[in-house]
Amino acid sequence: MTGWTRRQIGGLAAGALVATAAPHIAHGRGRPRVVVVGGGIGGATVARYLADLETIDVTLIEPNPTHVTCFFSNLYLAGLRSLDSLTFDLRSLAERHRITFIRMRAVAIDPTARSVVLQDGARLGFDRLVVAPGIAFKLGEIGGYDEAAAEIMPHAWVAGPQSELLRRQLESMEDGGVFVIAAPANPFRCPPAPYERASLVAYYLKQFKPRSKVLILDAKDRFSGQELFQDAWSRHYPGMIEWLPVQFIGKTRAVDAATRSVVTEGETFKAAVANVIPPQKAGSIAERTGLTDATGWCPVDPLTFESTLQRGIHVVGDAIIGGDMPKSAFSANSQAKACCFAVAAALTGSPRFPPHLFNSCYTFLAPDDAFTNAITFAPKDGKIKTVKMFISKVGESAKVRRRLAHQAVGWYSAFTADVFGGVS
Amino acid sequence: MTAEPVAAIVSLARGIAAESRYFPGALLSAFLLVPGVSAAADTSQGAQIAATCASCHDPTGRGQGIPPLTTLDEQTIVKRMRAFRASESPSHVMHAVALSLGDDELAAVARYLADSAYAGRQP
């Protein structure tokens, strides 16, 4: 397939939304074509930034019409935000930024023929492909934890129905119960998030179910922001959050959904609510396309985010491995911009400059107490290396932390406007 | 209006935008000619660095808590970034960003941001 015609688009897709105006499609003949698979943070950012250059035709493939952000979903869990306020319409993104949006699943990628196969069998050609598949769960690693068990012991690690399920369970939990969080070993999506979740669940319990506890069964002996979290737990929720590292209990090896129990190598823990966060790997299409290595993640060139395993295909976001960048929405957004300018340089000859890779996260300890980190990265020896890292400190004033919590809300609004091109 | 004339005018505006530090008046005029049409983003060094700014600073200046960049002129941006570079306080986030930019990069992004604000364009 060498170019888009209206007939081909129509043939592709009952159910596919073609948001682009017809003159643009005609006008686009002969322009380089980039296909983006995945409408999460990395995929939406790269599609939007590439389309805004107005030199490349961009098609976004994603079965979901909306995206619910994982970041800030712990605030939803605690009753501090609605899920609606975390939901963004990909159709609006496509309309505003002249992206062709195909609301379908990409089932296969043919790197040799440079085409993507959609769920209805249609093939879509590309000059460059960007794959942003997010995460998948290694379900086999925790015995008994399958999709059915996840409906009883939700992971809530992809925001949406799983978040609603966990919220309902928290609301219906009896006072005096134990809310268990099984946290995975590194690397996984959003390293501080299990501990932010513990903090905000404790905030909810302190108000409504004060005899209850949060128990974290960790597959690690240390975790991101540990000193800041433990200081906050003793200040805000004394005696309510218990953290058990892997050296005490061993890894989580099984669950029993019937009794809502989590079984580690050493003990069995019965939960009132069990939030089981399984070990993770790159989203499944990456694995099927040969974009993953033995780690289960996608190695990339840190300058361009082109796969080191499949040339002409770029990968951004949580699915990549090969350096110090954490799996965060901010990282995905930063990688997507570097990838966008590298793809544009390759296809249109636009100038290339060293990428500025950056991560900054706001993490809530309580509604009026948040901390931030800021990390700069640079490509070195084929990997992404940390250059400088700064993080909030234990002992900062309540005023400083209140200001950060306030900034976090402003950051969310600006960041999601950057990714999705406007308000939801 | 068909796509082609708009594209042509946008293309003209982009060309002028690239030279806007020499002809700021011409840039403004180019945008006034085409109400409601914003220029395409560009791939200049300033634009590529400014993409990082947009991860936190709302380009419309509506954000809360994080100051907008839309009202700052080039010299003010350079001056503030040098102050952020020198000290972790008041913002370790901006300290990290400022330390990551060389003087030439800082000059490029400051010029781009100031020009973008002047043209009423989203960085």
Please state which CATH number belongs to domain A140-278. 3.50.50.60
Please state which CATH number belongs to domain A6-136+281-353. 3.50.50.60
Q: Do B22 and B46 share a domain, yes or no?
A: no
Q: Do B93 and B121 share a domain, yes or no?
A: yes
Q: Do B86 and B74 share a domain, yes or no?
A: yes
pLDDT at position A127 is 98
Beta carbons of B96 and A345 less than 8 Å apart: no
Instruction: Point out the residue among A52, A333, A341 whose CB comes nearest to the CB of B48.
Output: A341
Q: Do B50 and B68 share a domain, yes or no?
A: yes
Give the CATH number, domain containing residue B90: 1.10.760.10
Of A173 and B69, more confident = A173
Percent of chain A with pLDDT over 70: 92
Rounded mean pLDDT of chain A? 93
What confidence tier does A23 reach under pLDDT thresholds 50, 70, 90? very low
Name the domain count of chain B.
Answer: 2
Question: What's the gap in Å between the CA of B75 and the closest CA on chain A?
Answer: 22
Render pLDDT for A191-234 as a digit per residue (tens, 0 to 9): 999 999 999 999 999 999 999 999 999 999 999 999 999 999 99
Q: Is the pLDDT of residue A9 over 80?
A: no
* Positions of chain B with pLDDT lower than 70, given as ranges: 1-39, 63, 118-123
What confidence tier does A93 reach under pLDDT thresholds 50, 70, 90? very high
Beta carbons of A55 and B40 less than 8 Å apart: yes
> Which residues constitute the domain of residue B52?
42-123
pLDDT at position B9 is 35
Render pLDDT for A136-159 as a digit per residue (tens, 0 to 9): 999 989 999 999 999 999 999 999
pLDDT at position B64 is 80
Question: What's the gap in Å between the CA of B7 and the closest CA on chain A?
Answer: 9
Q: So what's the ipTM on this one?
A: 0.90
What confidence tier does A387 reach under pLDDT thresholds 50, 70, 90? very high
Q: Do B24 and B75 share a domain, yes or no?
A: no
Render pLDDT for A326-348 as a digit per residue (tens, 0 to 9): 999 999 999 999 999 999 999 99
Render pLDDT for A303-318 as a digit per residue (tens, 0 to 9): 999 999 999 999 999 9
Chain A hits for B7, Cβ within 8 Å? 27, 54
| A19: amino acid identity, one letter | A
- Interatomic CA distance for residues A260 and A145, integer angstroms: 11
Q: Do B27 and B73 share a domain, yes or no?
A: no
Q: Do B53 and B102 share a domain, yes or no?
A: yes
Residue A355 near residue A349 (C-beta atoms within 8 A) = no
Interface of B with A (CB under 8 A): 2-4, 7, 10, 40-45, 48-49, 51-52, 54-60, 62-66, 88, 92-93, 95-97, 99-101
A interface mutation test: which of B11, B49, B93 has the most A CBs within 10 A? Answer: B93
Domain ranges of chain A: 6-136+281-353, 140-278
Residue A371 near residue B92 (C-beta atoms within 8 A) = no
Q: Are domains A6-136+281-353 and A140-278 of this chain identical in fold?
A: yes
Q: Is the pLDDT of residue A289 over 90?
A: yes
Q: Do B10 and B47 share a domain, yes or no?
A: no
Q: Do B73 and B107 share a domain, yes or no?
A: yes
Q: Do B21 and B81 share a domain, yes or no?
A: no
Nearest chain B residue (CA) to A412: B56
B interface mutation test: which of A69, A353, A359, A384 has the most B CBs within 10 A? Answer: A353
- Range from A88-97, A394-403, B1-10 carrying the lowest mean pLDDT: B1-10
Chain B hits for A69, Cβ within 8 Å? none
Q: Token match 């005490």: residue?
A: A248
Q: Do B80 and B47 share a domain, yes or no?
A: yes
pLDDT at position A29 is 57
Percent of chain A with pLDDT over 90: 91
Please write down the long-range contacts of A375-380, taking CB distance under 8 Å and 24 or more positions apart: A375/A324, A375/A325, A375/A326, A375/B96, A376/B96, A376/B97, A376/B99, A376/B100, A377/A323, A377/A324, A377/A325, A378/A354, A379/A302, A379/A303, A379/A354, A379/A355, A380/A302
